[in-house]
Amino acid sequence: MPSAAKSIQSQDKRTLRPAVLDDVRSIYQILKHYSDRGLLLPRPESDIYQSIREFVVVENSDRIVACCALQIFTRQLGEVRSLAVMPEYAGAGIGTEIVERIEQEANTIGLTRLMALTYEVKFFSRMGYKVVEMNVLPEKVWGACINCHKFRNCDEIAVLKLLSED
């Protein structure tokens, strides 16, 4: 486990909370760290401002170290989107914690299915998501994906979790 991950476990000073506008720069930088490496899709700051109410963040000693958004597509389907944990904090359970919070929010508002497009299949499998064909998710594919530069050659893997019966 990375040393920072060990120390945050022992200090346990982290807070999971809804994002505020002052977090936008930090969210942008965390996402950029991974989008520069081709692991996440890039999101401009303007997009993050517009979507700020979808985000939760993890703050550790006044620093934003992780973020995740819940995007709603239809009455049933939402997406776990823009999930990222700073690499030095990986492996300490923050990713799991933040996805569990997104799932709670999804349940609270009445979504029945949550999806993600990811390269981190093992992480999502451990959380109860199943790999599905992209065409099982037409709402996503024909809504958001059609505007993505990877649309014709997307190599991300679609995963889906049933939260409750439709």
Ligand X SMILES: CC(C)(COP(=O)(O)OP(=O)(O)OC[C@H]1O[C@@H](n2cnc3c(N)ncnc32)[C@H](O)[C@@H]1OP(=O)(O)O)[C@@H](O)C(=O)NCCC(=O)NCCS
Nearest approach, Cβ of 89 to ligand X (angstroms)?
A: 6
84 scored as a contact of ligand X (CB under 6 A): yes
Task: Find the part of the chain contacting ligand X (CB under 6 A) among 19-27, 43-51, 81-89, 144-152.
Answer: 81-89
Containing 72, the helix (H) or strand (E) segment is: strand 63-72
In the list 64, 67, 95, 140, the residue contacting ligand X (rule: CB under 6 A) is: 95
**Position 160 contacts ligand X (CB under 6 A):** no
Burial class of residue 111 (count of CB atoms within 10 Å of its CB; 0-12, 13-18, 19+): buried
**Contacting ligand X within 4-43 (CB under 6 A):** 34, 39-40
Q: What are phi and psi of 14, to 5 degrees?
A: -90, 150
**Which residue type is seen at 65?**
V
CA 88 to chain CA centroid, Å, is 18
Q: Determine if 116 is a binding residue for ligand X (CB under 6 A).
A: yes
Contact between 55 and ligand X per CB under 6 A: no
Residue 94 as a binder of ligand X (CB under 6 A): the answer is yes
Strand pairing category for 77-85 and 113-118: parallel
Question: Does residue 22 sit in helix, strand or coil?
Answer: helix
Q: Name the site residues for ligand X (rule: CB under 6 A).
A: 1, 34, 39-40, 83-85, 90-96, 116, 118-120, 122-123, 126
